[in-house]
Amino acid sequence: MTDMQCLVIGKRMDAESHPGQVWMDEARGYRRIEAHDALRAAIAARSSCHQTVIIDAFMASSYTAKDITVLEGLEPVRKRPGMYIGGVGAAGLHHLAWEILDNAVDEAMNGFASSIVVTLHEDGSSLTITDDGRGMPVDKHPKTKQSAVEVIFTVLHAGGKFDPGNYKTAGGLHGVGASVVNALSKELVATVRRDGAQWEMRFKQGKPTGPLKNLGPARGSGTTVYFHPDPTIFPKIEFDPAVIRERLEVVSYLHKGIKVTFENEATKERVTYQHDEGIVQYLQKVVSERAAKPVHDLTFLLERDNGLRMDLALQWTESTDEHLRSYVNGIPTGSGGTHESGLRAGVGKAVRNFIDTHNLSPKGVTLTAEDIREGLVGILSVFIQEPQFQGQTKDRLNNPEVLSVVDSAVRPALEHWLNHNISVAEGIVARIILAARAREASRAAQQEVTRKSATSARLALPGKLSDCSSSDRDNSEIFIVEGDSAGGSAKQGRDRTRQAILPLRGKVLNTESASLAKVLENKELSDLVTALGCGLGKNFDLSRLRYGRVIILADADSDGHHIATLLLTFIYRHMPQLMANGRIFLAQPPLYRIDIGKETYWVLDEAQKTQILEKHGKGPSGRSTPEITRFKGLGEMMPKVLWETTLNPKTRRLLRVDIADQLVTDRVMNELMGKDASARFRFIMERAEEAEELDL
């Protein structure tokens, strides 16, 4: 195995791009351990020779005060960046942009700015963010005797948002955002316009390169921050324009009336976002992207500015899942929090009260909170003066008082809306009852499958499953193989002690728009659920999973990719915990065999084939002609070849499937696998020029 890679939906990155994690080569493959678990051990993995060298860091016999390290200034940020931005991968890199952007948004949401411009420079790895707000203070700080600009960018927990008199609400709270960006940047330049003058201060790796300079007179006011991430901290420093555009568009929805502009110097692209209707337009965009047919056209809208400011838009659709996007002071809270809990409680109470008042309760079925929210698409944006976030990444809101405030605001407003729009409300109730009856039917079918599942009794396992002999889950893996012929080769070539093989016949059901009852009627998927043993949906239990790794093994051609996508869709929709816990992998079988003289090369794709031929096209004598064999499928491979190239943990290559952005992944899945063919047509047309070779 030459490397261990992590497949993030939409992105691929080497394990080496995660310096906070270490991948250790073992006889059974690769496993991930956290760097701090290595306890100061220096680990050097060189996959070409499959050796791991561990240097013991505890050779010293004494442990005294001199061994205690004190980090001052911005040193802690550079030493442990993950503590401040969540990691040094793509998400952490873009978090730098969000910190500076949030400062500009804070000016706008408090009425001091009306325009924000974000420029991605031609190198693709540096940004400039400009607002027309008040401009940072430039006078001397009374305590530090330094300019306020220098304090803001060099001192942790220094900012203007601790005093409620400066900002009514703000996304920046901890006073570390600007200083963290400065600490993790190779270069940062802050330019301020205020009081009729323009000021500039430059920094390098968190340290000032000179004093604050007065550049002369200037009109207007505002702040401009240019920064270039430090390549010694981040393995990859290229920003993704699509990610930035999407974040800026969301800002324009949440703060209606604000003009947000994105400029990409590399492509000469300039786009401006401004939405005067706010989250109503945002909800329409989300429903359209998800290709979910609305149950009603009239949107429930709640705008509240008494105490806690809240904007809420709801619409029920025919989708089988709930989709809620929540924000606090303009910052996305992907992990939810008390504001989402309050919303769910309020929606449940309002709908139940309406059903009880109008005697619409169905017979023979009990409505659950999940039935009420099935198909619900919502945008919730709250503005709080003292939000309590879970960590600097601000992914979850923890204010306990917000739950009751949101609940008490949503329940009466939604109930009033339902009572004054009877025809719409009755359509929503009919949708909820339909969801409850479908759940009951799915539960019965699921119980039948669960009854057959075997966590201990092997007699109930699918007949075509060739199980492994080991009962150690962490030391075993199952290969889901495309086709019976490939399954036969895999069964003969595998390590019977640790590797199980489950062949699937043909292409499985596309589960993106199928009900759970229909999914469980599919024999191939039913056998897969039984073999894994962990159940699915609400009955999923990771502790009952029978294998440490679930590896999808499909042909390297387009049909194989399609089958792998169908399986990933099923797992993402019905067993997402397997992806969240890093249990799903994609095997990487070769597409070509190239023989040059006495050397044999196993090639994954066209790009690698071209690379091999350019490098080894002729042998030492100059007369060797490459012999190229293209595999039509895994079934053509001899068991020994399949073992050496795809099954052997010491020589194989695997991609681990992970979710980097839940919202983006959900949209991509819906576009590619959903009912709306027009979404796929747009996807193909927009990317037609990127196709280098078509497998027709």
Closest CA to 351 of 447, 416, 297, 254: 416
Instruction: Report the Cα–Cα distance between both ends of the chain, in Å, rounded.
Output: 31
For residue 389, give the DSSP letter.
B
Q: Which phi-psi region, left, alpha or beta, contains residue 486 (left: φ > 0; alpha: ψ -120 to 50)?
A: alpha
* Amino acid residing at 300: F
Mapped onto helix, strand or coil, the DSSP state of residue 676 is: coil
Strand partners, 655: 5, 586
Catalytic residue among 200, 289, 557, 636: 557
Question: Read out DSSP for 250-306?
Answer: HHHHHSTT-EEEEEETTTTEEEEE--TTTHHHHHHHHHHHTTPPBS-SSPEEEEEEE
Instruction: Give alpha helix (H) positions in 62-118.
Output: 75-79, 82-85, 90-109
Helices 558-574, 662-673: axis angle to 10 degrees equals 130
Question: Read out DSSP for 619-650?
Answer: -TTS-PPPEEEE-S-GGGS-HHHHIIIII-TT
Q: How far apart are CA 368 and CA 388, in angstroms?
A: 31
Q: How far apart are CA 319 and CA 619, in angstroms?
A: 59
Catalytic residue among 559, 595, 605, 658: 559
* Exposure of 443 in the CB half-sphere (CA atoms within 13 A): 8
Catalytic residue among 340, 467, 477, 482: 482
Q: Is 240 a catalytic residue?
A: no
Encoding tokens for residue 59?
A: 């050779």
Helix or strand run (H / E) with residue 376: strand 376-383
Q: Is 467 a catalytic residue?
A: no
3-state helix, strand, coil in the chain (%, to 5): 40, 25, 40
| Cα angle, residue 521 at apex, residues 515 and 522 outer, rounded to 5° | 100
Instruction: Report phi then psi at 313, rounded to 5.
Output: -135, 130
How would you class 614 by CB atoms within 10 Å of its CB: exposed for 0-12, middle for 13-18, buried for 19 or more?
Answer: exposed
Helices 677-686, 662-673: axis angle to 10 degrees equals 110
Q: How far apart are CA 206 and CA 494, in angstroms?
A: 53
Q: Is 559 a catalytic residue?
A: yes
Q: How far apart are CA 481 and CA 555, in angstroms?
A: 9
Sign of the alpha-carbon dihedral angle for 205, 206, 210, 216: positive
Using DSSP bridges, classify how beta strands 323-328 and 376-383 pair: parallel, antiparallel or unpaired.
parallel
Q: Is 482 a catalytic residue?
A: yes
Catalytic residue among 25, 407, 555, 661: 555
Closest CA to 415 of 340, 354, 342: 354
Encoding tokens for residue 316?
A: 């029920």
Q: How far apart are CA 137 and CA 159, in angstroms?
A: 10
Beta carbons within 10 angstroms of residue 452's beta carbon: 15
- Distances in Å between the Cα of 485 and the Cα atoms of 196, 253, 279, 637 are 78, 53, 53, 10
Sign of the alpha-carbon dihedral angle for 342, 347, 348, 353: positive
- Distances in Å between the Cα of 475 and the Cα atoms of 1, 28, 35, 547 are 18, 7, 22, 8
CA dihedral 492, 591, 564, 688 (to 10 degrees): -170
| Radius of gyration (C-alpha) of the chain in whole angstroms | 28
Mapped onto helix, strand or coil, the DSSP state of residue 679 is: helix
Q: Which residues are catalytic?
A: 482, 555, 557, 559
